[in-house]
Amino acid sequence: MIRRILYILAALVLATPVWAQAKGEQKGAAPGSFDFYVLALSWSPAYCANGGDKRSTEQCASGQSNGFVIHGLWPQFEHGYPIECPSDQTDLPKSVLETAHRLFPDDRLAEHEWKRHGTCTARAPADYLSDVAAARQHIAIPAAFLQPKSEVSLAPIDVEKAFSDINPGLTSSMMSVACSKGELQEVRICFTRDVKSFRACPEIEG
């Protein structure tokens, strides 16, 4: 694969830490007992240029023009988050694999996200994937992130503004930008449980 380093959108701000999911991981929590969702959109060029091509040949194959891709839809508590909850359906059934393939950049990622996060929703696999699709369809991607042809330097606050400018109702208090070593990693956006509206999420934004 050709390293597409010039396609990485760099978010260069001194003293801006890598954003991590909130502390308070609760493994095996009761399914369905969460407060809101976080849609994580991964910046694929940075992922692929920094070792992702070895982990996901499907996502990073030569000729792919991925920009933002779905990392996952994560149930969250106001403080912390559940993972790997008890479920009779620990694997995605064959009947939904085609849907998962359309949503996620890599089939193994889809399986991982269901096991780690989807099982905590108390939703059937098909319904969880429907929520993933609804959240993604709710988000418009700013033009600056649609197949950029050269390296661009932006502050995280500018990335947030670009998203809020074209997504009515979305404010900086409802999202967070993750950066690592001066490169954009993810944009994470908070949704209500019904995936119909954005909502504030102080712990995530913080």
How far is it between the farthest Cα atoms of the chain?
47
**Choice among 25, 78, 112, 117 that is catalytic:** 117
Catalytic residue among 71, 160, 183, 186: 71
Residues forming a β-bridge with 43:
68
Structure tokens of 169?
A: 């109702």
Quick check: 2 and 45 in contact, CB under 8 A? no
Catalytically annotated residue among 78, 112, 113, 205: 113
Q: Find the helix or strand (DSSP H, E) in which 203 lies.
A: helix 202-205
Whether 37 contacts 191, CB under 8 Å: yes
* 101 classed as catalytic: no
Distance separating alpha carbons of residues 88 and 163, to the nearest angstrom: 38
- Residue 152 to residues 12, 64, 82, 182: CA-CA distances in angstroms? 10, 20, 36, 11
71 among known catalytic residues: yes
Judge whether 79 counts as a catalytic residue.
no
User: Helix (H, G, I), strand (E, B), or coil: what is residue 178?
Assistant: strand
Q: What is the DSSP letter of 198?
A: B
Hunting for tokens 């934004």 — which residue is that? 205
Catalytic residues: 71, 113, 117
